[in-house]
Chains A and B, each alone.
Chain A
Amino acid sequence: MHPAPSIILFTTLSGLGYGLAAVLGLGLLDASGLSVKVAHLAALAMIAGGLLSSTLHLGNPQRAWRALSQWWSSWLSREGVMAILTFVPLTISAWFAVVEGGYQPVAGLVGAAMCGITVYCTAMIYASLRSIQAWNTGFTPLCYLLFAGAGGFLLASVAGYASGAGGTVCAVIAALFVVAAWLAKHQWWTRLRALAPLSTPESATGLGNIGRVRLFERPHINDNYLTREMGFKVARKHALKLSRLAILAGGAMPIVLLIVAIVAGGGAVAVIAAMLAVLLYALGLAVERWLFFAEARHAVMNYYGG
């Protein structure tokens, strides 16, 4: 699948945003701290930014509101609806934090839950597609949720360390989430790489009983919408290299940095370590998301020799 920058940006940013918002909603941090207030606003900005970027690839963005109408069947619609609904508790929480300087547990907890659901919906857009076998697994939402959680706690630990309270708790949980997320992702990759294709050129053409089927001529020799959208292929060699890079940047290094922060227990060292951890994690996540698309083979490629 074509790794469109707007979609990668969207899932990365909104994942981080929802993660942070959810963690903030748990009330682990002192809402009166400046950095926590900033965190609330940052979470909203990331979510909004992500959503906005996701409309960039629409052919007719002016009708985007229509995407809210089909929540009874469409995960994309559900995601849209949830995204908007989630803004309500998140805005209330943010209001309380920024204006009142306090934590509103009902809004916070409801918001946290809704963040989770929204992230789940996002993941299910992909996971529900049978045509893309790589995504069509329960591991997909699991990964999305764990990555969002990890990102949330990582960001929260920055805020915690910066405001002087709750940093270590968040950092410890963040580390656990980071480990869990990459373990889940590892499973996802293991599954992907062992996958026997559900559909093959033989099943796609029904000609398997005659012999081995190979594309001879494309219908139109140049690329078309389908091959541009679904025909992206990353070499296995590069995929392995990139996945290691993702684990290193988004997993190993953040853990080391988190340990540094935990050991430091606070202060500038912890803040900087946690911030670095976040940046590296975001980089790792972006690579992971790029691969998420680039490695996924669409069933239609059975018709295009891909």
Chain B
Amino acid sequence: MKSEPHLALSEPVSDEVRKTTCYMCACRCGIDVHLKDGKVRYIEGNRDHPVNRGVLCAKGSAGIMQHYAPARLRAPLLRTGPRGSGEFKEISWDEALALATGWLDGVRQDDPKKLAFFTGRDQSQSLTGFWAQQFGTPNYAAHGGFCSVNMAAAGIMTIGGAFWEFGAPDWDRTKLFVMFGVAEDHDSNPIKIGISKLKKRGARFVSVNPVRTGYSAVADNWIGIRPGTDGLLILAVVHELLKSRKIDVDYIVRYSNATWLVVDAPGTAEHGLFVRDDNGKPQVFETVTEHVVPLGTKGARAALSGRVELPDGRYAVPSFQLLAEKYLDPQYAPEAVARETGVSAEVIRGLAAEIARVAFDEAISIDQPWTDMNGERHEAFIGRPVSFHAMRGLSAHSNGFQTARALHMLQVLIGAVDCPGAFRFEPPYPKPIEAHPTPHGKAEHFGSNKPLSGPHLGFPRGPEDLLIDAQGRPMRIDKAFSWDAPISAHGLMHMVIANAHAGDPYPIDLMFLYMANMAWNSSMNTAGVIKMLEDKDPATGEYRIPKIIYSDAYSSEMVAYADLVLPDTTYLERHDCISLLDRPISEPDAVQDAIRWPVVEPDRDVRGFQTVLLDLGSRLKLPGFVDSRGKALYKDYADYIVRHERRPGIGPLAGFRGSNGDRAGRGAINPEQLDRYIENGSFFSAHIPLEAQFFKHANKAYQDFAVRMGFFDEPKPVTFQLYQETLQKFRLSAEGLREPVAPETHRERILAAFDPLPVWYRPFEEAAVSREDYPYHAITQRPAAMYHSWGSMNAWLRQIHTRNPLYVPAAICDEIGLVDGDWVWVISHHGRIKVEAARMEAVNSSTIWTWNAIGKREGAWALDKDAPEAKKGFLMNHLIHELLPPKGDGMRWSNSDPITGQAAWYDLRVRIEKADRAEVSEPHFSALAQPGGERPHVDELRYGQEWAK
């Protein structure tokens, strides 16, 4: 027998490894980019990186194909054909920037609100927001409004932080993990790492989700809930816990507003507000002396129940009494909610029992003394090892804000916020509402040629902070912070095009978009939006939305609708900053931020958008972008990252500050800062001392740490707001008791939705349409291997999801005689789509679903015209209207949460009918031309063949 062939097994992988940060999604894992002969040989996870600890998802590993995709834009583009044709000519950067500057400058002189600047998958919101503020338009937001503002706002307003990116389960200690409505989430690799840890330890993992794929597939228990009813399920659990007295009384007394007295004086302007003294301090009832005293009075033992008479003769009750009375009501009993939620009473009771058992019978303790904000010393951190996580399954409903609040209330009641084993905050969170700005954009906040007087986005403390004019009309183009959506803390990006097209509240001149595929998957009613973008005013022959500037890196559907396209680099070609001022990547134990840097040079005439934005800022001579002589302050984005300061000593990056690079958080500018990051693997991590790691909302050591790091200039502890006073203020306005008074049209809905205690109401679309006509829910899920619309240009990823079937519950298939491969009409109150169906059993019996954003417009993304993505792929968005069905009240309400304006993607109700077999899904749109000229057809790829051994 011959010997085996000799193999060269120890060949070096690459010539060089460059460490940077992935941007195939917003998880922002650390990557080791292996370069060979100047090309990317291999991308793997950075083992030292705190986010991903070496692992990488499919998208991250497919970075090579993203980076070399034919869909990359090559040069600035000026539209030559009509909007939507995809016909452009490539122009120089000088031309492009001169044109953009001209357009922008005109608007700024004339009326800055005529610029709407909205950004999508943006990870540099601190820069884009700053730019918009210096420009002076009130019309700026990022994508949060259509994404998950319900989650963010409810979290921040209740516990001072949210699940979204501001906290995480204590994966190493939790014994029961309950996840609501998550398919992938932003934290996708950490969640996978975490779930795997739980399983190894034998901790229980419960997933509440209508569809049992992905994470839900490996959950110990799957609760296949009916969409939009989680609030009821959670409140039923609260009911059970109250009834059986499984409440952490000590915890709620210390850390929440449970003891705060609430005025009980119906019909007055103070009804339902907290009793406060002249200093604004909330009052509690002291049970020993039987006196009403200010919160924090030494030795006071505050009551949780009882009705007390105030010195002025009015009555008040501790907020907890209102809470307990509300949820002890039999309407929240498991039996009472079983039908609506589709979850059996036994399962609800079992869930409540497990939560109670683990929280109280399996409590854990970390022997580390610590001191709370009242100066009281504790010998240990006591942990209630029950943790929760939730994402868009809760938040993308019109009742999502209150549902998310219900979940946070549950966490607080069992004492499971930021203790060992529970959900834990990630710095710079928790942050009390007082530490957030109020929104700016009232008439007095802006004007010709001057900056907006403060940040655009924030949290109104009451109706007085709304951005409305004297008649109560919205000031912002997206109608954020108006009566339509008073606490729309992230804006309403999904309404911008519709409102701008309608000229309601006013027309705009220029729409400037960045990284958002608004002509496709991030719009509701996509076909309608396309029409609006194409629509011209017959009088002038001009487009209704006169000018559109867009920055994308690839030939997305949206590119075809821009007049001027500013081509971005890929994520491997530019500087980026993942900042604590923005959407940070901290962990519960550590403060973290990161950068990207050009690990390869662009081979096209493209520029990093942030650098372009800085350039535009200096051409426009915006304050903060030019010095007193009008000279540009920053050479490029890298320079900005290093030298920009928001407050003295505080800049985009927290790490390696100070002239020696040894300061964290606060410190002088360090010119070598980026080099230090690169040496460190492109991230910075500062550990929180053990003493400061838990109970951050009330932990003195943590608060001091936060001040040292520069999150705050003085300690900012958080008291959990079980009872939400701000919401009550809106109710008082709706009752006509408080100024400004809510318009008649809005009163009913504010009274119903703005309950200061979490409530559940039926999602608006479901309530508005007939259950018989539209018997099913229709939702989407994120596929793990695709990021929204970008995956399809990636030769490797697109093979996994070349098209998307509509998954239909087995019972419905049997009822209408569907087999895999049959076609169906899916019909909503707004439209119909014709798509290919497939059978599924492991799904809620009234829910059909598909993978999100697989369907593509023919001609986009440099795909061949007959690509299955365009032929058989489809978007659910065609069925979702940005407005609710008419109610007969003369109003067309936005299809959003009434509090935050969060787009209610998952409220969709449909029916399905069997259709004839087909080759092309409907609706089908005309093909887009490849911007800047057709790309040659690629028959075959053999990436890496030159290195074949």
Contacts and interface: CB of A to CB of B under 8 A. Distances in A.
Interface of A: 216, 219-222
A75 to B, nearest CB: 19
A194 to B, nearest CB: 27
A301 to B, nearest CB: 15
Interface of B: 799-803, 840, 868
A135 to B, nearest CB: 29
13 contacts: A216-B840, A219-B800, A220-B799, A220-B800, A220-B802, A221-B799, A221-B800, A221-B802, A221-B803, A221-B868, A222-B799, A222-B802, A222-B868
Nearest to B854: A221
A44 B511 CA distance: 78
B135 to A, nearest CB: 45
Secondary structure call for the B interface: loop
Contacts of A219: 800
Nearest to B872: A221
Nearest to B803: A221
Query: Which residue among A219, A221, A222 has the maximum number of chain B CB atoms within 10 Å of its CB?
Result: A221
Contacts of A216: 840
Pairs of residues from A and B, 9 with the lowest C-beta to C-beta distance, nearest first: A220-B799, A221-B802, A222-B802, A220-B800, A221-B803, A222-B799, A221-B801, A216-B840, A221-B800
Secondary structure call for the A interface: loop
Nearest to B841: A214
A220 B868 CA distance: 13
Given A221-B868, A222-B799, 12 more contacts: A216-B840, A219-B800, A220-B799, A220-B800, A220-B802, A221-B799, A221-B800, A221-B801, A221-B802, A221-B803, A222-B802, A222-B868
A219 B796 CA distance: 12
A134 B391 CA distance: 51
A220 B802 CA distance: 8
A220 B801 CA distance: 7
A270 B205 CA distance: 81
B622 to A, nearest CB: 48
A222 B840 CA distance: 20
A246 to B, nearest CB: 30
Nearest to A219: B800
A222 B797 CA distance: 12
A11 B820 CA distance: 37
A217 to B, nearest CB: 8
Contacts of A220: 799-800, 802
A237 to B, nearest CB: 17
Contacts of B868: 221-222
A129 B59 CA distance: 38
A45 to B, nearest CB: 36
A246 B362 CA distance: 73
A221 B802 CA distance: 6
A221 B800 CA distance: 6
Contacts of A221: 799-803, 868
A222 B800 CA distance: 8
Nearest to B783: A217
B852 to A, nearest CB: 15
B673 to A, nearest CB: 44
A216 B802 CA distance: 16
Nearest to B796: A220
A222 B869 CA distance: 11
B657 to A, nearest CB: 48
Nearest to B842: A216
Nearest to B840: A216
B551 to A, nearest CB: 32
Contacts of A222: 799, 802, 868
B941 to A, nearest CB: 15
Nearest to A221: B802
A216 B840 CA distance: 7
Nearest to B804: A221
A14 B110 CA distance: 87
Contacts of B800: 219-221
A98 to B, nearest CB: 41
A252 B868 CA distance: 48
A222 B801 CA distance: 9
A216 B839 CA distance: 8
A272 B454 CA distance: 101
Contacts of B803: 221
